[in-house]
Amino acid sequence: MAEKDVRNKQLLLRHYVSGFPKESDMFVSSDSTIKLKLGDESKGVVLVKNLFLAADPHLRPLMQKDDKFSVSQSFTPGSPLYGFGVAKVLDSKHQDFQEGDYVWGVTGWEEYSIISSPENLFKIHHHTDVPLSYYTGILGMPGLTAYSGFFEVCGPKKGEYVFVSAAAGAVGQLVGQFAKLIGCYVVGSAGSKDKVDLLKSKFGFDEAFNYKEEHDLDAALKRYFPQGIDIYFELVGGKMLDAVLMNMRVHGRIAVCGMISQYTKEEHEGIKNTACLIYKRIRMQGFNVVDYYPLYPKFLEFLLPQIRNGEISCVEDIVGGLENGAAALVRVFNGHNIGKQVLSLMNDE
Amino acid sequence: MAEKDVRNKQLLLRHYVSGFPKESDMFVSSDSTIKLKLGDESKGVVLVKNLFLAADPHLRPLMQKDDKFSVSQSFTPGSPLYGFGVAKVLDSKHQDFQEGDYVWGVTGWEEYSIISSPENLFKIHHHTDVPLSYYTGILGMPGLTAYSGFFEVCGPKKGEYVFVSAAAGAVGQLVGQFAKLIGCYVVGSAGSKDKVDLLKSKFGFDEAFNYKEEHDLDAALKRYFPQGIDIYFELVGGKMLDAVLMNMRVHGRIAVCGMISQYTKEEHEGIKNTACLIYKRIRMQGFNVVDYYPLYPKFLEFLLPQIRNGEISCVEDIVGGLENGAAALVRVFNGHNIGKQVLSLMNDE
Ligand SMILES: NC(=O)c1ccc[n+]([C@@H]2O[C@H](COP(=O)([O-])OP(=O)(O)OC[C@H]3O[C@@H](n4cnc5c(N)ncnc54)[C@H](OP(=O)(O)O)[C@@H]3O)[C@@H](O)[C@H]2O)c1
Ligand SMILES: NC(=O)c1ccc[n+]([C@@H]2O[C@H](COP(=O)([O-])OP(=O)(O)OC[C@H]3O[C@@H](n4cnc5c(N)ncnc54)[C@H](OP(=O)(O)O)[C@@H]3O)[C@@H](O)[C@H]2O)c1
């Protein structure tokens, strides 16, 4: 008997976006169906049930027609979004995966996905003491980003002065904790009092400030770093980058990880203080976590014990159901998320 | 009998400068006198006769009251300029130097200088087949800048695509030749047809273009680098940097050496394409030649034979007499110099 088609609810892009993303830029549809068994023609392919989807900032650039900077293909209006997520394998025609495996990697914003390049999936050796959702954040792509960006790109040394922007977010909160772990002095910026408190009380940042309350970012940085900044972990871009450049120390390093403040702008703001790079001999280095995937096993080995013994922790912001997917994404750009913004599909029947 | 005072002609800063430097911003004075013998109180000091002075671009930032970026002390109105030069030791109270030695390093824009930190002077083991003036350029600070910036900062590999701005200048012409030497494809930009011809005919650049004739720098770079740029040797800043960022290849490197187009601006232009650093994983690194002084002997060992056998050459633009010093400096900013702009004091009686 042929396998029955089941509903496959999806979150689709309604139209190309400019400026801030709005909930109405996306819509949920239950029109799509899928067979929950792969046919013999599906060689090398994996069928998954999606459990958690990551509302990652990089989805916004993919929502516009031509992003001047991006090297990835934009989303297509009328098609579902895709991005990082955690999923359970329902059927597999790929030798590395079996029914029942848990995986993380790029999947669709939908109940079920057919993944045709499973080489880019990571198998989760499920540790029942660690929430599965962590593989969208601290144990997944953002975690590896913080780890490789901080340890590999920044080359940090004990006692150095570290500044992290968007510090309460998925990547930022981890960078700050890594920096404390090796004995750096760490200050973070974030967009609300609650986040600032969290940074200091939960994540052990030495100081933190609300950038929205500082009309003079240069003055704020001089207050927190009278001696200057050795390492800046860049997550926001724009005015903050310009202010940081003026406050770097000689031989400082800037890991350019993200520029979320610019993703919603028609034209990026101009950075006026790049001459600081010369006078202070600064290394400013962009990176992409995909180049560091080979480090993933080493990263897990380092991080899992620290999560278990409570030395490193994380905060997640979990919203449930594809109907709330668009709202979850919008939160990342208005800063309403505290910690990794996750969309859970666990209760989608 | 006490040593007689002799005239010490000087080029002095008249007032702080903003915008383009003008000849009238400086003036020559013969009011100063000096004794050509050091007294016993002058421990550790060296007295020199200046032979060649380098009209280096970095003198311009020192002519303004507060340069936002510079970490060096500005010149003082009413005092002589100082910068790199070649000189002959007339008297020495420092163990490392003797009367008759030739040296290069920081000295005054005047006939005679008393150098109180001779630790920063390099002794010239005078090779009579190489002009002494070369120690203001190819064999001096700009030469070491090109060498350390290209080999140490850029990490070039055979076959890579290299772009050099201000390519006909002291640093640029050498960077291009180094790049050809190791088998890179090299394109340079400069501000006149003569310079463009020089780059291709004398210095072996694969291509060169006049940036003043390109109203769309992005299009020009796409024409010369359809496959993109691996290495950019940055000497000018501003619009050129923005255009280059859009044309870098993945894992490209930018050595940020100078930004001469910005030195004469009240406020630096904003760079709008820094997001390219992330997507293309670019390393953009500022450097200062002073950090590479320990490489100087290795550099000489590498370069002297190549100069002698004609594999590497240079063009100098020598103007004579302190009266022409201000004009020589101005030329560097209107681009009238072709190659290293030198002021010779050899004929000053
Ligand atoms: N290079 C890579 O491989 C790589 C990998 C992962 C992530 N990233 C980048 O890293 C950055 C952080 O990602 P994440 O997952 O950790 O996100 P996140 O921090 O969890 O969420 C985004 C946060 O950014 C802040 N934000 C939003 N708009 C802002 C603005 N205009 N100015 C300043 N802050 C703003 C908000 O917090 P506030 O309340 O503080 O405003 C928001 O909570 C993003 O730029 C992302 O693109 C890069
Ligand atoms: N980081 C370090 O340690 C270090 C050491 C030495 C030098 N530098 C820097 O390296 C750069 C080059 O120095 P150099 O000694 O080799 O000087 P140079 O190239 O011999 O002379 C300066 C040249 O710059 C060009 N220029 C002037 N204004 C310009 C503008 N607005 N836009 C584009 N090009 C312009 C002119 O040539 P065109 O006809 O092509 O316009 C001029 O001939 C300078 O920025 C300098 O500050 C840095």
Contacts of A45 (CB under 8 A, 6+ apart): A38, A92, A93, A94, A114, A115, A116, A118
Q: Do A268 and B277 touch (CB under 8 A)?
A: no
HSE-CB at A190 with a 13 A cutoff on CA atoms is: 28
Mean pLDDT of chain A: 96
The per-residue pLDDT for A248 is: 98
Q: Is B33 helix (H, G, I), strand (E, B) or coil?
A: strand
In 3D, which of A242, A249, A246, A252 has the Cα closest to residue A228?
A: A249
| Residues B321, A92: Cα–Cα separation, whole Å | 83
Which helix H or strand E contains A330, and what residues bound it?
Answer: helix A325-334
Q: Whose CA is nearest to atom 4 of ligand 1?
A: A257
The answer to whether A81 and A59 have CB atoms below 8 angstroms apart is: yes
Q: Do B287 and A278 touch (CB under 8 A)?
A: yes
The atom of ligand 2 lying closest to the CA of B54 is: 15
Tens of pLDDT along chain B (349 residues) come to: 567 899 999 999 999 999 999 999 999 999 999 999 999 899 999 999 999 999 999 999 999 998 888 878 999 999 999 999 999 999 999 999 999 999 999 999 999 999 999 988 999 997 788 999 999 999 999 999 999 999 999 999 999 999 999 999 999 999 999 999 999 999 999 999 999 999 999 999 999 999 999 999 999 999 999 999 999 999 999 999 999 999 999 999 999 999 999 999 989 999 999 999 999 999 999 999 999 999 999 999 999 999 999 999 999 999 999 999 999 999 999 999 999 999 999 986 5
In 3D, which of B169, B175, B170, B171 has the Cα closest to residue B192?
A: B169
Q: How confident is the model at residue A120 (pLDDT cuts 50, 70, 90)?
A: confident
Dig out the tokens for B246 from the structure. Answer: 């859009």
Q: By the CB < 8 Å criterion, does B267 face chain A? A: yes
Q: Do A71 and B281 touch (CB under 8 A)?
A: no
Q: Compare A4 and B135 and report the one with higher pLDDT.
A: B135
Q: Do B257 and A278 touch (CB under 8 A)?
A: yes
| Residues A7, A152: Cα–Cα separation, whole Å | 44
| Residue A124 CB-density burial (10 A; 0-12 exposed, 13-18 middle, 19+ buried) | buried
CA B81 to chain centre: 16
Contacts of A80 (CB under 8 A, 6+ apart): A10, A11, A12, A13, A108, A109, A110
Q: Do B284 and A277 touch (CB under 8 A)?
A: yes
Contacts of A327 (CB under 8 A, 6+ apart): A23, A319
What fold, for A5-137+314-344? Quinone Oxidoreductase; Chain A, domain 1 (3.90.180)
Query: What is the number of residues in chain B?
Result: 349
Least confident residue range of A115-129, A188-202, A235-249: A115-129
Q: Do A241 and B274 touch (CB under 8 A)?
A: yes
Question: Distance from B227 to chain A by nearest Cα, in Å?
Answer: 15
Q: How confident is the model at residue A220 (pLDDT cuts 50, 70, 90)?
A: very high
Q: Is B271 helix (H, G, I), strand (E, B) or coil?
A: strand
Could you give the dihedral angle defined by the CA atoms of residues A245, A248, A250 and A256, in that order, rounded to the nearest 10 degrees?
A: -70
Q: Do domains A5-137+314-344 and A144-290 have the same CATH topology?
A: no
In 3D, which of A179, A172, A284, A14 has the Cα closest to residue B275?
A: A284
- Domain extent listing, chain A: 5-137+314-344, 144-290
- The chain B residue lying nearest A277, using CA atoms, is B286
The answer to whether B155 and B230 have CB atoms below 8 angstroms apart is: no
Least confident residue range of A118-132, A194-208, B92-106, B180-194: A118-132
| Residues B260, B329: Cα–Cα separation, whole Å | 13
Query: What stretches of A116-167 adopt beta strand conformation (E)?
Result: 122-124, 161-164
Q: By the CB < 8 Å criterion, does A277 face chain B? A: yes
- Best mutation target, A281, A287, A289, A292, to test chain B (most B CBs within 10 A): A281
Query: What is the number of residues in chain A?
Result: 349
The answer to whether B94 and B114 have CB atoms below 8 angstroms apart is: no
Q: What are phi and psi of B108, to 5 degrees?
A: -90, 160
Q: By the CB < 8 Å criterion, does A267 face chain B? A: yes
Report, as an integer, the average pLDDT of A57-70.
Answer: 91
Cα dist from A108 to A59, A84, A104, whole Å? 12, 8, 12
Vertex A57 angle, CA A53 and A59, to 5°: 70
| Residues B85, B83: Cα–Cα separation, whole Å | 7
Q: What is the 3-state secondary structure (H, E, C) of B40-90?
A: CCCCCCEEEEEEEEECCCCHHHHCCCCCCCCCCCCCCCCCECEEEEEEEEE
The DSSP 8-state label assigned to residue A271 in this structure reads B
What percent of chain A has pLDDT above 70?
A: 99
The answer to whether A163 and A169 have CB atoms below 8 angstroms apart is: no
> pLDDT at residue A2 above 70?
no
Q: Is B184 helix (H, G, I), strand (E, B) or coil?
A: coil
The atom of ligand 2 lying closest to the CA of B192 is: 39
| Residues B266, B66: Cα–Cα separation, whole Å | 11
Question: Distance from B156 to chain A by nearest Cα, in Å?
Answer: 17
The per-residue pLDDT for B2 is: 64
B241 contacts in chain A (CB < 8 Å): 274
The amino acid present at B34, given as its one-letter code, is I
The amino acid present at A238, given as its one-letter code, is G
The answer to whether A254 and A232 have CB atoms below 8 angstroms apart is: yes
Query: What stretches of B197-288 adopt beta strand conformation (E)?
Result: 207-210, 229-234, 248-256, 283-286
Which helix H or strand E contains A188, and what residues bound it?
Answer: strand A185-190
Q: Give the CA diameter of chain B.
A: 74
The DSSP 8-state label assigned to residue A257 in this structure reads -
Residues with CB under 6 A from ligand 1: A 56-58, 142, 145, 166, 168-172, 190-192, 195, 235-236, 257-261, 287-289, 332-333, 335, 337, 340-341; B 278
Q: Do A274 and B259 touch (CB under 8 A)?
A: yes
Q: Do B286 and A276 touch (CB under 8 A)?
A: yes
| Residues A9, B41: Cα–Cα separation, whole Å | 90
Q: By the CB < 8 Å criterion, does B286 face chain A? A: yes
The answer to whether B314 and B172 have CB atoms below 8 angstroms apart is: no
Q: Is B217 helix (H, G, I), strand (E, B) or coil?
A: helix
B257 contacts in chain A (CB < 8 Å): 278
Contacts of the segment A60-66: beta carbons below 8 A, 24+ positions apart = A60/A17, A60/A21, A60/A263, A60/A264, A60/A329, A60/A332, A60/A333, A61/A263, A63/A13, A63/A16, A63/A17, A63/A21, A63/A25, A64/A16, A64/A17, A64/A18, A65/A16
The per-residue pLDDT for A50 is: 98
Q: By the CB < 8 Å criterion, does B276 face chain A? A: yes
What does R_g of chain A's alpha carbons equal in angstroms? 21
Report, as an integer, the average pLDDT of A343-347.
Answer: 92
In 3D, which of A268, A192, A206, A204 has the Cα closest to residue A236?
A: A268
End-to-end CA distance of chain A: 24
| Residues B247, B193: Cα–Cα separation, whole Å | 24
Question: Distance from B263 to chain A by nearest Cα, in Å?
Answer: 10
| Residues B135, A198: Cα–Cα separation, whole Å | 58
Does the predicted TM-score (pTM) go above 0.95? yes
In 3D, which of A153, A292, A164, A226 has the Cα closest to residue B285?
A: A153
Question: Distance from A282 to chain B by nearest Cα, in Å?
Answer: 5
B258 contacts in chain A (CB < 8 Å): 278
The per-residue pLDDT for B349 is: 52
Q: By the CB < 8 Å criterion, does A193 face chain B? A: no
Q: Whose CA is nearest to atom 6 of ligand 2?
A: B142
> pLDDT at residue A1 above 80?
no
Q: What superfamily would CATH give domain A144-290?
A: NAD(P)-binding Rossmann-like Domain (3.40.50.720)
The per-residue pLDDT for A53 is: 98
Handedness of CA B267, B269, B275, B279 (dihedral sign): negative
| Residue A179 CB-density burial (10 A; 0-12 exposed, 13-18 middle, 19+ buried) | buried
